Amino acid sequence: MTDNRTDWWQQPARPLDHTAEQNARERQNQLTKPPGSLGRLEEVAIHLAALQHTDRPRVDPVQISIFAGDHGVVAEGVSAFPQIVTVEMQRNFVNGGAAISVLARQLGATLEVINTGTLANPAELPRVIHEPVAPQTQNFCEGDAMTDAQWQQALAIGRRAVQRAEQHQAHLFIGGEMGIGNTTTATALLCALTGLTPDDITGAGTGLDSAGVVHKIKVIERALEKHKHILHDPAEVSRALGGFEIAALTGAYIAAAQAGMAVLVDGFICSAAALCALKLNPSIRPHLFFSHCSAEQGHRKVMAHLHAAPLVDLNLRLGEGSGAAVVVPLLRAACALHNEMATFAEAAVSGKSNTHDGDL
């Protein structure tokens, strides 16, 4: 599939503003606190300032886009739940009953749900954005998960979600996912792109027992062996081993970075999409904040591979973008502290002395 063309997803991300970054760092050093005493909250605010080209960063409005899709590899018996759940959870999302629905309400965030392709037709569901690529991907143990055209279509679904976020003037983008079988897909992608083995990172997903996990490992090993000739090419890996909703997330992360938007990455499956995005377009890295370390086996190893330091570790493994949503108040706090604290001069508080011990 790879050729000499330049696609939209290869265009560089919006560059950082190093003047804004320096100004924000200088402001942090003037606030009424010992320098560095707010730890990573200071660095988050400074980094957001550089991304947003401003001395006073913000994260609101927040856009949350949940991509749902079905996976042909479910035919291999890798999930404890039937595929109808992919559609049923879309209904739950838009009806307000899912965890991410509750969190979006609490945050005042815009929440949208996008169907990228499900076996059970959710066309009757109101308030779901319908952009199905196909009823599901192909079983990647038997062939390629997607054609080139399908992969490009799925990437573009994510790009359109970011364009809607821009219309809402969002400053922070959160992607979420729903798809029975997608921990198998994400694990295969991560193994292909990192060199980690299925034994290293395969977990129980939605609740497999130990025998189910062993079977899942064997399925992923079969897929990696079948596609070993393309594992050097991240675009081909994303196409041959990916899912529609994971490719949409990949496209969304790239498009958000190109738009200069901060991205808060959720857990295991979203990290697989983020790694695909980084392999396709390394320039997006400064725009990605990794929200939490998932309880899904192997996520910590994936974070180490990415040299990423998640903001919290709460033993979460739900998906849906829920872990990222939980972290939004921390980012809000970082911005509020940066923007609203008084400087030493404003508060008429004496700053740190420049004299050394023993000086008169």
> 68 vs 190, 244, 258, 318, 321, CA distance in Å?
19, 8, 23, 14, 12
Residues 253-273 as b/e (b if ≥16 CB within 10 A, e otherwise) read bbbbbbbbbbbbbbbbbbbbb
Tokens describing residue 44: 């988050």
For residues 227 and 192, the answer to whether their CB atoms sit within 8 Å is yes
Rounded CA separation 221/196 (Å): 11
For residues 245 and 177, the answer to whether their CB atoms sit within 8 Å is yes
- Catalytic residue list: 320
The closest alpha carbon to 294, from 337, 274, 324, 333, belongs to 324
131: which strand partners?
A: none
Residue 197: exposure state from Cβ atoms within 10 A (0-12, 13-18, ≥19):
middle
Tokens describing residue 132: 């199905």
Query: Residue 185: what residue type?
Result: T
290: which strand partners?
A: 265
| DSSP H or E segment with residue 128 | strand 128-130
Rounded CA separation 62/111 (Å): 9
192: which strand partners?
A: none
| DSSP H or E segment with residue 353 | none
Helix (H, G, I), strand (E, B) or coil at 292: strand
